[in-house]
Structure 1
Amino acid sequence: MIFQFKVIDHLENLMIYKNKWDNMAKKLNNQNPFLEFQWIKAWWETIGNGREVEIYALFIDEEIIGFIPLERKTLRTNHIEYSFIANGDASYMDFLVDPTHHKQALNFMLDYLLKKEEEVSISMFGLVENGNTSKYLDWYLEKNAVEYDFTRVVAPYISINQEDQTSYFYKRRKSFALNRLEKKFEQQGEVVFEPLTEVNYQKIYKIFEERWKMKNDTSGFSSELSKCFHNKLITETNLAVVDGLFLDKELVAYTFGYRIRGTYIGFSIAFNPNFDCFGLGNILDRKIIEKSFEVGDSIFDFSIGFEPYKFNWATEIQYIRNYYFGNKNASKVVKKKNFKRLLKEKLKKSKRIVYFKRNTLGKWSFYLRNPFRILTSFKKFFHFSKSEIYNLPAKKLGKEFVEEQQISLIHLQKMKNSKQFINNSFKESKYFILNNRNMYEVNNNLIVNKNWNSTIELPKNAVYINGPIVKEEICHWNDQEIFISINALERNKRKILRKSEFLKQTTIYSINFLKFHRFFGKKLKLKSPKRYKFI
């Protein structure tokens, strides 16, 4: 049995093997989308264009038995590094080889690469730990005393075909308070989760950038090359699955993943950060998992990563190995690089370090790019406010005709201070325009104030109003007792309130100093964390 190979280093040459590649993937029941011909072709046409791609087509007696997709890099004059293609773009990678020749094919290729006279190092990432390639690779490296090491990363997943959908979600009903959050979100308008059409493809990148603008993004999902690549996948292949969450026909969140032969692999998920209070990330996860049950998937894979939410949803885990090794001439380089890789892996397992790098450094970077935003942030951490609460008994003012128009959440998120409006909507505030002139915030349960970290519960048959104090308009709500809060320095508003027979109820003090928060006032009693009620 004599092995032979041909190196495919031009995209035109790859096209010759399309049918062979597709047939091999089908024969092996390949469930790795990153090994599919259409994925590799789209990557090579975009991100991989200009790179030294070397895909090895393996033969026995002129019969093709598989493919090994590699990329070659010249690190210095006498050092060559081979790696699987698409490092950083693919979560998993492997050989696509007939299983009867898998071990021999691996031995053959490694013998060929490692026996070169130059310094040669090899990086093989994305290998499933209990898969055949990892087992055969361990055997080869130990047998031939090759200098090597590997790092591991976890990949949580759900065995959909072993779970009952009803009991699966019932067990997790309290983990994310999903029923309550979904109900609140659905009260804001018409909510639809459905596949994206071409009209909305470009919007996912805007949502991604908005979501990550104050964080360190290492995925490069919205870079120009990545956009071209993902657009090709969406429009020219049947691998990519892109679903959107719409509120009143406006895209507010999306999921991007791959579905192949009964396996779904999540790749990117993001939502408009203004809607963070509604827990859209968890709502999205639930929607796509429900869809996975409905279409009859066997596996729902969250892809690699230690993110806590993955473990809350997952039923099982697998480990993915990233190997690095080389020939004797490259031993110093291999030792040095493996030390760095192992150190990096340990650092990634520390939540504090990961959050510091992603969130804290991301914020600092954002403020350096937008220095005028520093003052706004400063006010959040160092703030003192003194507010006065006034109330007016029910039916104190005469009723007048007022034209009322409620503002939808989608329209609110397009306004200035949209995040504040949406957060207040989550706390059951509604916004109205009266007489096509003034906008009012109305809440039948709570007194909310942008300067407070707490809320005050209203008594029964009462309403809180925030907006211009126009007697002819606020009388619209005087069927109930009206509560209004003003800044203690707003003397003109105080005079108007007193003339309109409002009575001062109490004075509220709110202090923010870094992580220290204090909220107090007379006639108040703490009912639950950050919620008070009148005595």
Structure 2
Amino acid sequence: MELTRITSLEQLEQYRNDWSLILEENQNTNPFVEFVWVYEWWKHFGDEYNVEIMLVILDEKPIGFFPFIHKTRWFSHTYTFIAFGLANYMNFVVYEHLLDDVIEFVFDELIKVQKNVVFYLHGLLESDKTSDSLEAYVQKRKSAFSIHRVITPYIHLQEIELEQYSDKRKRLHRIDKREKRLRKNGAVKFLRSNPEEMDSVFHLFEKRWKKRRSTSGFTSDKGKEFFRGLAGIQDGSMQTEIDGLYINDKMIAFQYGFLCRGRFVGYVKGYDDDFHVFGPGIILEKQKTLQCMKNAVTIFDLSIGYEPSKFELNTGEDYTRKMIFSSNSLIGKTVRHFFTLKESLLERMKKNYSFVLFIRNTIGKLLYVSRNVFNTESKTIKEELVAYLTRVKKYLYERKKYIVYKIEKKDIPGLFDSGDFIELTIGDAVTCPSIANSYLKEVCKKIFAGYTGYYPVDCLSIHSIFWMNERVMRIESISYSEELHKKSAFIQHWSIDNIEKICSFVKRNNAVNTLYVSVEARSKYKRAKLEGVGFTISKYVFKRRFLGFVQEISKDFE
């Protein structure tokens, strides 16, 4: 065997067919070692690293490629796989029947040349033969090594009964209810997205992670160009698949993944936080899974990680390894020991999902606020700070009193001009810039909570909408709720100027016998207006909070 190094893209291009032939014979299902993926990565990131792909030749024929990055530090040489942090899985590209011999040859040669050398190899699937072969090698050489694992759940699609799977998905997160309510408010479609829509994909990802800590690199400057380049790969053994969930042609969720010889790897997904209550990410993943089943895809790979959502419907679990070993020199062992301690700590932290969420969400939000707190144009930061201080104030002390008023249908005056109100849909909200930019999340929450919104025919703004709920009376500011009797309704966001028109409109267009509204006890003008229209007091609701202890009292009016 001969060992040589490939150190440029031009050299690598010469071996495109040899590389692909090996993977085809091995029936590789790891998209991250396919030639097109490695080539794109090197093209966009290669200038940052000392890339050395070890080429093994036997009888003048390439039989193996080892895609490494070579670093010199701490008086030692470190070899890692390429694309660390971007490629979930990695491997050697070697004919399987020669794997043991080639591994022994390559690592013996590298250790012979570099006395103080450490190998830090990520992304090795335990189900793949490489993990066992590499472990056998280091044991044979009596080299100290460590293995660090992260769980990798997947769905074996050919083992699932479609009807049973669909029933289970229906019960999960009340997904049918969410999807039904979303479809009621617009034209919902699940479609394969075009590479030209990558700007929308990046926008959704950035919006989703704006106040969270992300280490994916998906929307870094080079990351965007890299993933945009991969998006154009639509045929061959490895294809990039981008799927989107749309409402009225607006993308509200996406899944970016790779299909490789019957294995789909879900790489990145995201959704518009404004639509969070409808679970667009869950709906999209359900549709994508069903699509893969119909297209005879064998494995739906949920990718590495301990997120609870990955274990709700997986049928199997694999593990992905980081393997660290070194030459037997003192320096090599010392550096290896440092890497081992680091990875052991990271491994333990990642298993604690609560800690992961704390770093991702709480620390991420603090970092976002600290970066933008002195930005005078940032209205969002000011709102965040005010909201936080308000929550602290309410926790320490809060005292509120509300009065619930009611009016019977027969007592509603019919003399007022009810005007024309239009029922609000999400489609209307999306096309109204003032709502879409600042209040879309609030509108989605209202609609999902069972409210129906109405706005004047000639004026759509967040302040012109009144909300009606025929099932539940909710006073959000004090977290009070009460189920309503049949043919009753609760009105929110009314004003002194429009309460008469609202009552008349409801009387004329809805089968409601009793109408309820709530008002703070100290709002004398609103109370006077309600009583002038014909409303009478139904009950009092009190809420007191002191240092987190809450007392809530509801008292009917006698």
Smaller-chain TM-score range?
Answer: over 0.9
Determine helix, strand or coil for the equivalent of 1:348: helix
Summarize the alignment of residues 83-122 of structure 1 with structure 2, pairs less than 5 Å apart.
Answer: 83-122=80-119
Mapped pair 1:350 → 2:367: no
1 CA distance for matches of 2:458 and 2:324? 67
Contact 2:234 2:241 in 1 (8 A): no
Which moved further from structure 2: 388-397 or 315-324?
Answer: 388-397
Determine helix, strand or coil for the equivalent of 2:79: strand
Mapped pair 1:336 → 2:338: yes
Give every structure 1 segment of 4 or more consecutive aligned residues whose post-TM-superposition deviation is greater than 6 Å: 512-515
Distance 1:219 1:415, change over 3 A: closer
Which moved further from structure 2: 165-174 or 219-228?
Answer: 165-174
Deviation string for 1:100-139 (max 9, x for gaps)?
Answer: 2111110111001122244211111111113221111111
Contact 1:115 1:327 in 2 (8 A): no
Mapped pair 1:375 → 2:391: no
Residue of structure 2 in register with 1:472 after alignment: 501
1:501 to 522, 530, 534: 534
Which letter does structure 1 place at the counterpart of 2:556?
K
Higher percent of residues as helix: 2
Distance 1:117 1:257, change over 3 A: closer
Identical-residue share of aligned pairs (%): 27
Deviation string for 1:436-495 (max 9, x for gaps)?
Answer: 243222222222344143432222212222222322343101242222222333222111
Residue of structure 2 in register with 1:225 after alignment: 222
Mapped pair 1:405 → 2:432: no
Determine helix, strand or coil for the equivalent of 2:182: helix
1:517 deviates by 5.4
Distance 1:406 1:210, change over 3 A: same
Which letter does structure 2 place at the counterpart of 1:299?
I
Mapped pair 1:366 → 2:368: yes
RMSD of aligned alpha carbons: 2.2
Residue of structure 1 in register with 2:252 after alignment: 252
Determine helix, strand or coil for the equivalent of 2:465: strand
Distance 1:514 1:432, change over 3 A: farther
Deviation string for 1:315-349 (max 9, x for gaps)?
Answer: 00011111011112311111122122112211221
Residue of structure 1 in register with 2:293 after alignment: 293
2 CA distance for matches of 1:23 and 1:145? 34
Which moved further from structure 2: 336-345 or 290-299?
Answer: 336-345
2:32 to 31, 34, 47: 34
Deviation string for 1:164-219 (max 9, x for gaps)?
Answer: 11122324543422222222222222211111124532112221122222322121
Contact 1:81 1:122 in 2 (8 A): yes
Residue of structure 1 in register with 2:263 after alignment: 263
Contact 2:253 2:280 in 1 (8 A): yes
Summarize the alignment of residues 41-52 of structure 1 with structure 2, pairs less than 5 Å apart.
Answer: 41-52=39-50
Q: TM-score normalized by structure 2?
A: 0.88
Distance 1:117 1:19, change over 3 A: closer
1:157 to 123, 134, 154: 154
Summarize the alignment of residues 117-156 of structure 1 with structure 2, pairs less than 5 Å apart.
Answer: 117-156=114-153
1:499 deviates by 0.9
Deviation string for 1:206-265 (max 9, x for gaps)?
Answer: 211222223221212221111111100102454211111111211111111111111101
Which moved further from structure 2: 495-504 or 507-516?
Answer: 507-516
Equivalent pairs, count: 522
Which moved further from structure 2: 165-174 or 511-520?
Answer: 511-520
Which letter does structure 2 place at the counterpart of 1:425?
I
Contact 1:380 1:512 in 2 (8 A): no
Contact 1:382 1:512 in 2 (8 A): no
Unaligned runs of 5+ in 2: 374-381, 430-434
Which letter does structure 2 place at the counterpart of 1:421?
V
1:429 to 451, 454, 457: 451
Residue of structure 1 in register with 2:20 after alignment: 22
Distance 1:346 1:24, change over 3 A: same
2 CA distance for matches of 1:381 and 1:512? 12
2:405 to 390, 396, 412: 390
